[in-house]
């Protein structure tokens, strides 16, 4: 049953749209960082050198500072994490809504146990969201790796967002790939959760667009509410963005994983139990 | 093959849609259900398919009680209400995906099936581009795919042209066997007489009459 759902996901339009959006974000960041930051920086350094001043950034730019997850200079990091819920829900998040409202569900429920379908649907949507959520990071990393050296970032170069108060700052300046790997895992967890949130929204929404945007509404609303309460450290958008880590002094790495896992578990329970009781067969 | 329905009630909110249905269906026959819109034909089919939980009563298939001994009928094909498939996939792909839910079916078998309902020319056309009649034909193909023991067809000839009706009728009659129960709901009385061995007449959630086609017509 999971294979059936994954197969549907891979053949659908949504996954193509998610890949397209990820490519656009990665390409935008790549050119943005190369042209706007790197080249203007090189020109400025040359001018300073000619003027007899010591040029800033003698330490070369690192891949870890140049790809979308570590880039604090262009708008694309912000844009990526703003569009993150849409990206996660695009591949398969609306599929339950479509299955139910088109009547396709009756073919499945007449052949398979409801619980099996709901479990398979949750798993497939979670996995699709987890992968789609991190696609821009992967594409951007691969593109930037063509030009930027994967050297360890240097605190004195002042090209990094990460400082002493950042979560895992030690990791960043000693083993940056591990630092970003942890963030990739957090991103996958959050992507999976946000995609499955659309499943629960399908029970209450009358319109597919509302289902598509429901994770975005939750994500943004949570961010604003927590900012108002002075607890931005718990906002998902802050937790998953490696550039935003200096805001989150009051939460540990374990706490970050726990928070998103708790959200994902709640989304599962709502979807599974309402889905099991529901008899909306068109 | 035997399907037994005992004291079946189904309430939707305050409304009683099915009111104590008692029915025994035997393999080897085509049963026709007729009745006005809203008399409970579709709901009865949904109960048999296990899509909804009865408020009271049981559906027993070959001695196994649905929702108690088995979660879903072990071998069933349905066309209930509108045929609904994935718009962005072709007719062939849609059947192939549904076949994967029931232990799979070879491409040749799927192509044969499409040919039998008159869709061989449209096998590579996306479902979203199908006409109403083509959608209905694909719905029939999905219902009979894998030769299930129970086939439920709700208005199978809706929107199908004269020639197509004959094709579908032949396909349905060709499926008649001792191991199979076929239940067809149809508004066209003439067609029902040609198709069914026994006719069940429903009214306001109850069975009014049950008997052979000749008896029902008289």
**Tokens read off for A206:** 């009358």
Residue A43 has pLDDT above 80, yes or no: no
ipTM of the shown complex:
0.87
Question: With contact defined as beta carbons under 8 Å apart, do A189 and A257 qualify?
Answer: yes
B39-86 residue pLDDT tens: 899 999 999 999 999 999 999 999 999 989 998 898 899 999 888 898
A237-255 residue pLDDT tens: 888 888 866 555 667 888 8
CA angle A190, A246, A249 (to 5 degrees): 85
Whether residues A11 and B73 touch (CB distance < 8 A) is answered with no
Nearest CA in chain A to B102: A111
Whether residues B51 and A279 touch (CB distance < 8 A) is answered with yes
Taking alpha carbons only, the member of A133, A120, A131, A132 closest to residue A268 is A120
Whether residues A109 and B82 touch (CB distance < 8 A) is answered with no
> Which of B86, B94, B139, B153 is most worth mutating to test chain A (most A CB atoms within 10 A of its CB)?
B86
Question: Whole-number mean pLDDT of chain A?
Answer: 87
State how far the Cα of A169 lies from the Cα of A174, in Å rounded to an integer: 9
Percentage of chain B surpassing pLDDT 90?
Answer: 42
Whether residues A110 and B78 touch (CB distance < 8 A) is answered with yes
Question: With contact defined as beta carbons under 8 Å apart, do A162 and A172 qualify?
Answer: yes
For residue B85, which residues of chain A lie inside 8 Å, CB to CB?
Answer: 104
Whether residues A108 and B101 touch (CB distance < 8 A) is answered with yes
State how far the Cα of A264 lies from the Cα of A259, in Å rounded to an integer: 9
Please, which residues 76-105 of chain B have a Cβ atom closer than 8 Å to chain A? 76, 78, 80-82, 84-89, 93, 97-98, 100-102
pTM to 2 decimal places: 0.88
Render the burial of A226-253: b for 16+ CB within 10 Å, e for the rest.
Answer: beeeeebbbbbbbbbbbbbbebbeebee
For residue A110, which residues of chain B lie inside 8 Å, CB to CB?
Answer: 49-51, 72-73, 76, 78
CA distance B210 to chain A (A): 26
Whether residues A281 and B52 touch (CB distance < 8 A) is answered with yes
B151 burial (CB, 10 Å; 0-12 / 13-18 / 19+) is buried
A198-238 residue pLDDT tens: 999 999 988 999 999 999 999 999 999 998 998 888 889 88
Which pLDDT score is estimated for A245? 62
């Amino acid at each position: 049953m999971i294979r059936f759902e994954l197969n549907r996901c891979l053949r659908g339009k949504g996954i193509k749209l998610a890949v397209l959006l990820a490519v656009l974000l990665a390409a935008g960041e790549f050119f943005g960082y190369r042209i706007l930051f790197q080249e203007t920086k090189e020109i400025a350094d040359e001018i300073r050198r000619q003027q007899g001043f010591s040029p800033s950034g003698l330490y070369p730019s690192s891949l870890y500072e140049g790809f979308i997850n570590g880039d604090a200079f262009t708008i694309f990091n912000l844009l990526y994490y703003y569009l993150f819920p849409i990206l996660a829900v695009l591949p398969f998040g609306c599929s339950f809504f479509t299955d139910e409202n088109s009547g396709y569900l009756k073919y499945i429920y007449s052949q398979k146990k409801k619980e099996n379908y709901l479990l398979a649907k949750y798993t497939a949507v979670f996995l699709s969201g987890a992968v789609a959520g991190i696609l821009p990071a992967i594409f951007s990393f691969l593109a930037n790796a063509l030009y930027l050296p994967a050297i360890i970032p240097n605190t004195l170069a002042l090209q990094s967002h990460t400082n002493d108060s950042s979560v895992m700052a030690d990791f960043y300046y000693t083993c940056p790939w591990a630092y970003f790997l942890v963030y990739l895992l957090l991103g996958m967890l959050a992507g999976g959760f946000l995609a499955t949130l659309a499943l629960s929204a399908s029970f209450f929404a009358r319109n597919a667009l509302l289902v598509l945007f429901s994770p975005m509404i939750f994500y943004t609303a949570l961010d604003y509410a927590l900012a108002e309460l002075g607890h931005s450290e718990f906002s998902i958008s802050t937790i998953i963005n490696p550039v935003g880590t200096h805001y989150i002094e009051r939460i540990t790495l374990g706490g970050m994983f726990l928070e998103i896992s708790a959200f994902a578990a709640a989304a599962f329970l709502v979807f599974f139990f309402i889905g099991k009781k529901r008899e909306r067969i068109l | 093959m035997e399907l037994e329905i005992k004291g079946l009630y189904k309430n939707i909110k305050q409304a009683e849609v099915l009111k104590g249905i008692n029915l025994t269906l035997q393999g080897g026959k085509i049963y026709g259900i007729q009745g006005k819109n809203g008399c409970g034909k579709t709901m009865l089919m949904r109960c048999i398919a296990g899509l909804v939980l009865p408020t009271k009563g049981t559906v027993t298939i070959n001695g196994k009680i649905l929702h108690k001994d088995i979660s879903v009928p072990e071998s069933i094909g349905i066309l209930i209400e509108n045929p609904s498939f994935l718009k962005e996939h072709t007719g062939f792909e849609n059947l192939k995906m549904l076949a994967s839910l029931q232990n799979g079916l070879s491409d040749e078998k799927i192509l044969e099936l499409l040919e039998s309902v008159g869709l061989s020319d449209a096998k590579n056309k996306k479902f979203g581009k199908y006409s109403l009649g083509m959608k209905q034909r694909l719905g029939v193909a999905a219902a009979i795919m894998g030769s299930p023991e129970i086939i439920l067809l709700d208005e199978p000839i809706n929107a199908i042209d004269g020639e197509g009706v004959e094709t579908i009728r032949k396909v349905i009659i060709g499926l008649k066997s001792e191991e199979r129960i076929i239940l067809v709901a149809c508004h066209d009385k003439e067609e029902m007489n040609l198709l069914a061995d026994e006719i069940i007449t429903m009214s306001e959630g109850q069975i009014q009459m049950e008997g052979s086609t000749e008896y029902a017509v008289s």
